[in-house]
Amino acid sequence: MKLGGWGRYPVTDCTVTAPRTPDALAEARTSGPLIARGNGRAYGDSALNEDNTVSMRHFNRIIAFDEVTGQLTAEAGVMLGDVIDAFLPRGWFPAVTPGTKYVTLGGMAAADVHGKNHHIDGGFGNYIDWLDLMGPDGTVTRASRNENADLFDWTVGGMGLTGVILRMALRLRRVETGWIRQRAQAAPNLAAAMEAFEAAQDAPYSVAWIDCLSTGDALGRSIIMLGEHAPLDRLPTRFRQIPFGPPPRKKRKIPFNLPGFALNKWTVSAFNAAYYRLNARKTGTTYVPWDTYFYPLDSILGWNRIYGRRGFVQFQCVLPDDAARAGLEKLLRTIAHAGQGSFLAVLKKLGPEGGRLSFPMPGYTLALDFPVSDKVLTLMDQLDRITLDHGGRFYLAKDARLSSDILHAADPRADAFAAMRRDTGADTAFASLQSERLGL
């Protein structure tokens, strides 16, 4: 069947199986190197194997929950949104969440996803107590920080290339309400935006939308949104009747692929200017539902279709603190000069790194979506080089076209990861189009 990631680039014919038991999964392993796939929300080709892609969606049982500690035991194919639906009304919320709830727990662990609170809480892997992994020979091994610790550290952020995650125990966060106390502020340029992030180090959540086509004194102008879980006694009276938020809004849907010419320098520039002006007038403190704050794009089903039939690619890098300002300015100037703007451009502050191949490190991460074209792919090669020159690294969960040379030059951990896979036999049992392209 034709299969792609969320970016719909690349799309390729894949043989897909969907086992329902560990024994059936072990049998799938005998058909050759495989890659496990969750809900297909990795952007590129990290969950694609033309000969043996294994869907984990049938491994979707919640096994146990401890109301005292917040420890949840669940299979890898459980959706994050289902966890929220089940446990937020009981006062629990994911400790770390990416920008969509339509991901599986296994995928979150494999990518060691990060959220708006990484500068304080780290990545998803920090909240996994243990996981069960099916290895190259079909044996299931439990790994944690105290048991098979090396395997655990390589698996969290290992892009599904150390084995197939079957189930895990993770800790949720206690919350009193489902509301987020949001403080929004406008930053007229990149320097002001970074000063705002540094001044908000204690804010539990922080994220900025950034205008990647602004230039001159307005280079990097941003809308910064800080957030914290609102305690019940601070909620406005009208919200206390619905402490865990209003009923989900009716989803809007993109019914067809937009034409490729719909997104261009002029339309994106006009959108960015209007978005900045509109939101710069709405700064201040408000209370917003959790769904609105954490998952704004989830309200539009199939939003990836706005990029047209050819799909889109995302560029996401992190630059270390000491080089971030110079590197970000160069990235933004290069994007503006190329005229290949993105209206989904996000800036975040990250904290210490986690797993041995996990993406984050202390610094700033910039993420931008671009519709696929030859010009965009050329631009992204330029952005890769700028990232490399400033000591940065790349987020494999968003990658669809990075070269092996750039990855290994930017992140020496990739060599050690590939060597570990050879030593353990994982390289002959687990493979994706991405792992083959990147020499992992």
Exposure string for 390-412, b = 16+ CB within 10 A, e = fewer: bbbbbbbbbbbbbeeebbbebbe
Residue 122 lies in a domain: yes
Radius of gyration of the chain (CA): 21
Say if strands 284-289 and 179-187 run parallel, antiparallel, or are unpaired: antiparallel
The pLDDT value recorded for residue 247 is 77
CA distance 319 to 349: 10
Decide if 33 contacts 42 (C-beta within 8 A).
Answer: no
Statement to judge: residues 172 and 184 lie in one domain:
no
Residue 56 lies in a domain: no
The pLDDT value recorded for residue 305 is 85
Statement to judge: residues 287 and 301 lie in one domain:
yes
Statement to judge: residues 232 and 292 lie in one domain:
yes
Q: Which of 176, 200, 221 is the last residue of a domain?
A: 176
Cα 438 from chain centre:
19
CA distance 268 to 289: 28
In the chain, which stretches have pLDDT less than 50? none
Residue 425 lies in a domain: no
Decide if 344 contacts 369 (C-beta within 8 A).
Answer: yes
The pLDDT value recorded for residue 53 is 98
Residue 3 lies in a domain: no
Encode pLDDT of 2-47 as tens digits: 999 999 999 999 999 999 999 999 999 999 999 999 999 999 999 9
Residue 233 lies in a domain: yes
- Provide the CATH number for the domain around residue 365: 3.30.70.2520
Encode pLDDT of 135-150 as tens digits: 999 999 999 999 999 9
Statement to judge: residues 285 and 377 lie in one domain:
yes
Statement to judge: residues 227 and 262 lie in one domain:
yes
The torsion angles phi and psi of 93, rounded to 5 degrees, stand at -140, 150
Full residue range of the structural domain in which residue 82 is found: 62-176
Q: Which of 367, 382, 401 is the last residue of a domain?
A: 401
- Provide the CATH number for the domain around residue 99: 3.30.465.10
Statement to judge: residues 278 and 323 lie in one domain:
yes
* Number of domain units in the chain: 2
Statement to judge: residues 71 and 213 lie in one domain:
no
The pLDDT value recorded for residue 303 is 84
Statement to judge: residues 73 and 145 lie in one domain:
yes
Residue 433 lies in a domain: no
The pLDDT value recorded for residue 306 is 81
Statement to judge: residues 336 and 228 lie in one domain:
yes
Decide if 57 contacts 74 (C-beta within 8 A).
Answer: no
The pLDDT value recorded for residue 362 is 97
Q: Which of 138, 153, 176 is the last residue of a domain?
A: 176
DSSP string across 353-370: --STT-S--SEEEEEEEE
The pLDDT value recorded for residue 257 is 67
Encode pLDDT of 216-260 as tens digits: 999 999 999 999 999 999 999 999 999 998 877 777 776 666 666
Statement to judge: residues 193 and 131 lie in one domain:
no
Statement to judge: residues 141 and 223 lie in one domain:
no
Instruction: Give the 3-state secondary structure of residue 134.
Output: strand
Residue 409 lies in a domain: no
Residues in the chain: 440
Statement to judge: residues 141 and 222 lie in one domain:
no
The pLDDT value recorded for residue 8 is 94
Residue 423 lies in a domain: no
